[in-house]
Amino acid sequence: MTRFLGALGLVLLSTGCADDGAGSASGTATAATSATTATTATTATTQATQGTGDAGSASASDGSSGGAASSGAVEPTTGGATGEASTTTSPFDTGGSTGWFDTTTGGDAMCKLNIDIVFVMDVSTSMVMILQKLADEILVVDAAIQGLGLPTQANYGLVVFVDDATMINSGKPYADVKALQADFIEWSNFTQSNSQTSGQGFNSDWPENTLDALYTAGFAFQWRPVETTLRMIIHTTDDTFGDKGASQSGVTVQHGYDETVLALQEREIRVFSFADNDQTGGQFDDQDVSMGFFTPYAGKTPIPDATDGGAFNINDVYKGQLSLSAAINMSVEQSLCMQYIPM
């Protein structure tokens, strides 16, 4: 069963769709290693409160302010065979000086010592709002993770995709969260170009390349050892995807559904998708865009279920009914001390 993390005051990342731009892209959807030039990002001082991760009180060091308002967090609905978490309180109640990890895990061997998160983000034209929200709220997410009191800092990575897929920073973790925030801003500006991430060609059709993007994240990022690391992908899209061999704006999809799911499972990577659960979408609003995220794809288990992750409805974020930072933080909380049991 899918862990459907619905419109309950949680957060998401989502991938977007293309305009009907002219032109075609050359090349293949490979794990390109071009890095974006980081712009100076607005930095915010934020505080996560009891699982909400609200960025509403963010204040920037340069005098500007930002952050997205969040609704109150409610426990997500979860399903499927999962291990029992050893937590007794929320790790995002950071009011105390003692780290949650020390006070609630009791040295539980199942709890991970490290957290690695790769953001896999659709950067087609419709995704600008999600990228902007993430730029506003990523410091809230990081502050809450620091509040867990783990012995190491979280590592972050970024894959961007349209019909192609690009691993940013050559798969190396970001030096700090502000550099990641700067790239979110950079790519939110990029969405208006209606281009492929390689810069070669335009996005002239509706499906985007989720499968190659997830596969790239699984293989190209420098994950820490699985024995001690919670490995998570935050995936964002509002579109459907092509399977292996499909041609999208002149770009051929390189990896199939089964191949991608197996690669993620073998590496014990949990996928939390922020996708469209309204079922109809596409250029003529006649495509089922929920398949593979909330509902089966060709009779196969949705990717979030198959990787012991979860799914959020991106439209609830747009409506202000889901807090992006809170959903990410809750996903971390529920996974940190839970056995990985794919379906």
Determine, yes or no, domain membership for 11: no
Residue 327's domain comprises: 44-51+66-335
Whether 271 has a pLDDT exceeding 60, the answer reads yes
Q: Give this prediction's pTM.
A: 0.73
Determine, yes or no, domain membership for 159: yes
Contact between residue 135 and residue 123 where contact means Cβ atoms under 8 Å apart: no
213-225 pLDDT, tens per residue? 999 999 999 999 9
Contact between residue 72 and residue 296 where contact means Cβ atoms under 8 Å apart: no
Whether 3 has a pLDDT exceeding 80, the answer reads no
Q: What whole-number distance in Å separates Cα of residue 209 and Cα of residue 244?
A: 10
Alpha helices in 221-296 (DSSP H): 257-266
Q: What whole-number distance in Å separates Cα of residue 319 and Cα of residue 329?
A: 20
Determine, yes or no, domain membership for 343: no
Alpha helices in the chain (DSSP H): 100-104, 128-146, 177-190, 210-220, 257-266, 303-306, 314-318, 324-335
Contact between residue 170 and residue 31 where contact means Cβ atoms under 8 Å apart: no
Determine, yes or no, domain membership for 253: yes
Determine, yes or no, domain membership for 23: no
Number of domains in the chain: 1
Q: What is the CATH number of the domain that holds 107?
A: 3.40.50.410
3-class DSSP assignment, residue 179: helix
139-165 pLDDT, tens per residue? 999 999 999 999 999 999 999 999 999
Determine, yes or no, domain membership for 313: yes
Per-residue pLDDT, 206: 75
Beta-strand runs (E) in the chain: 44-45, 59-60, 114-122, 155-161, 165-167, 229-236, 247-248, 251-252, 269-275, 280-281, 287-288, 310-313
Contact between residue 203 and residue 165 where contact means Cβ atoms under 8 Å apart: no
Q: Which of 43-57, 84-98, 263-277 has the lowest mean pLDDT?
A: 43-57
109-145 pLDDT, tens per residue? 689 999 999 999 999 999 999 999 999 999 999 999 9
Determine, yes or no, domain membership for 39: no
Q: Which of 59-63, 255-259, 295-299 has the lowest mean pLDDT?
A: 59-63
Determine, yes or no, domain membership for 316: yes
77-87 pLDDT, tens per residue? 333 333 333 33
276-293 pLDDT, tens per residue? 987 555 555 667 889 999
